[in-house]
């Protein structure tokens, strides 16, 4: 499995990630060509050699024209999704910016739609985030891991005032990740760096067993004496990685509810963020037929799902237990068919494709519009995917 390991001994920022990826083998011309598909103006990207305490690094220098706008999340997502980038890059970049917006909303106690970005909404941050997503795609990275993150120490001046390191948004983004501080002064992990790493990494810890293929060092802006301010990435083939995650299963039995309300409960569970929800026919005490309601979710969703079940069903009690889920790596590939564009979900295991499935709702809508059998559209999508892979 093509694996990337972030070695964050000096923290991480968006430009450090870009520099490290170039140093690790991404063609800078290919990156610039892809960035041009964003269809935005007023920036330039150059990559320079830099020395950080004797280590040769790559510094990503992003220059932008002065802007007078504060973008909301919807503005940034509009730029991303109206671009000509491929679907997987768009989705990854959108995921990263959504994490940033969620963190800002939590810190400022505001709805996510009212959050406007300051530094992270500027054009250079958009180039950092989208550029990182492009680099991951160009190198075909399938799995991401990260070391504990060195966050720095002291204080940092921001738009809202002076804050301790790590500042509030970074601390929110790094929830669940191992962090540490030393006597090195300054903000070593930026919001953009934290958002990129926590959006793609499902595991944090020591370097895994892997056949190393490339290393790269991305230079930070500041220089320290006898401290290499750089991000190191290590890329190679790792086998036997565990992509298992621990989730919660929340269940309850009901035997006196309308099926219509059960359908409403399922819709609400998915809206709240449940990963799965399903009903199982069961035989309850006194031989009454009933329904087992099962909701799979992340730990942070526990209270919201329990509140939903208590308020919307007739249950008087709920069971919760931990489960382990292992999921295949998935990528969405958009292909052009005679019936219009169709997204195909491609699943991989250890780097090998094990399943390819055209999106049902898109195929159904295209079949209805063209007045053709559904299987004709699905077949066309599979053929288009095969042609895409050959080219």
DSSP secondary structure, 262-291, as one string: HHHHHHHHHHHT-SEEEEEEEE-GGG-EEE
Residues 232 and 376 in one domain: no
Mean pLDDT of the chain: 90
Residue 65: predicted pLDDT? 82
Residue 52, burial from CB neighbour count under 10 angstroms (0-12, 13-18, 19+): buried
6-64: pLDDT as tens digits = 999 999 999 999 999 999 999 999 999 999 999 998 899 999 999 999 999 999 999 98
Query: According to DSSP H, which parts of 140-237 are helical?
Result: 168-173, 191-200
Question: Pick the residue with more confidence: 246 or 249?
Answer: 249
Return the beta strands (E) in the chain as ranges.
Answer: 2-7, 43-52, 55-64, 143-146, 149-150, 152-153, 155-158, 161-164, 179-180, 186-187, 203-204, 211-219, 230-237, 244-254, 276-283, 289-297, 319-326, 329-337, 340-349, 352-358
Select from 306, 326, 346 the last residue of a domain. Answer: 326
Domain count, the chain: 3
Residues 264 and 170 in one domain: no
Residues 124 and 185 in one domain: yes
**Residue 356 is part of a domain; what is its CATH number?**
3.10.20.300
Residues 15 and 136 in one domain: yes
- Indicate if the pLDDT at residue 120 is higher than 80: no
Residue 391: predicted pLDDT? 60
Residue 308: predicted pLDDT? 95
Residue 113: predicted pLDDT? 74
Select from 326, 347, 379 the last residue of a domain. Answer: 326
Residue 119: predicted pLDDT? 47
129-167: pLDDT as tens digits = 999 999 999 999 988 999 999 999 998 887 667 889 999
Cα–Cα dist 14/45, whole Å:
13
Residue 221: predicted pLDDT? 92
Residue 334: predicted pLDDT? 84
Residues 249 and 184 in one domain: no
Residues 370 and 259 in one domain: no
Predicted TM-score of the model (pTM): 0.64
272-286: pLDDT as tens digits = 889 999 999 999 988
- Domain carrying residue 290: 244-326
Residues 257 and 380 in one domain: no
For the chain, the C-alpha Rg in angstroms (whole number) is 23
């Amino acid at each position: 499995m093509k694996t990337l390991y972030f070695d964050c001994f000096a923290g991480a920022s968006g430009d450090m990630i870009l520099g490290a990826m170039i140093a690790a083998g991404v063609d800078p011309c290919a990156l610039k060509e892809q960035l041009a598909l964003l269809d935005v103006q007023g920036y330039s990207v150059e990559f320079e050699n830099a020395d950080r305490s004797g280590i040769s690094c790559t510094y990503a220098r992003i220059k932008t024209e002065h802007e007078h706008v504060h973008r909301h999340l919807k503005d940034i997502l509009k730029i991303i999704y109206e671009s000509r980038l491929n679907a997987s890059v768009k989705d990854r970049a959108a995921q990263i910016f959504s994490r940033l917006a969620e963190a800002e909303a939590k810190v400022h106690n505001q709805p996510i739609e009212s959050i406007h970005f300051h530094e992270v909404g500027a054009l250079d941050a958009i180039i950092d985030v989208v550029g990182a997503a492009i680099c991951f795609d160009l190198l075909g990275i399938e799995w991401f891991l990260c070391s504990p993150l060195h966050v720095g120490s002291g204080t940092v001046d921001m738009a809202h005032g002076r804050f301790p390191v790590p500042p509030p948004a970074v601390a929110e983004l790094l929830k669940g990740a191992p962090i540490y501080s030393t006597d090195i002064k300054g903000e070593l992990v930026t919001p953009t760096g934290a958002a990129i790493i926590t959006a793609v990494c499902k595991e944090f810890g020591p370097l895994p067993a892997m056949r190393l293929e490339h290393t790269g060092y991305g230079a930070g802006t500041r220089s320290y004496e006898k401290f290499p301010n750089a991000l190191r990435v290590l890329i190679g083939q790792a086998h036997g990685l565990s992509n298992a995650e621990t989730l919660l299963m929340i269940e309850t039995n009901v035997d006196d509810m309308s099926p219509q309300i059960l359908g409403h409960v399922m819709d609400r569970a998915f809206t709240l963020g449940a990963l799965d929800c399903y009903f199982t026919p069961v035989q309850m005490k006194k031989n009454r037929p009933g329904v087992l309601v099962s909701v799979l979710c992340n730990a942070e969703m526990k209270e919201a799902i329990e509140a939903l079940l208590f308020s919307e069903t007739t249950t008087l009690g709920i069971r919760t237990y931990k489960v382990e889920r292992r999921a295949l790596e998935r990528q969405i590939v958009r292909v052009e068919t005679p019936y219009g564009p169709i997204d195909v979900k491609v699943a991989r295991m250890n780097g090998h494709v094990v399943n390819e499935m055209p999106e049902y709702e898109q195929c159904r809508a295209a079949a209805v519009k063209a007045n053709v059998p559904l299987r004709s559209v699905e077949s066309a999508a599979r053929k288009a995917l095969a042609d895409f892979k050959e080219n």
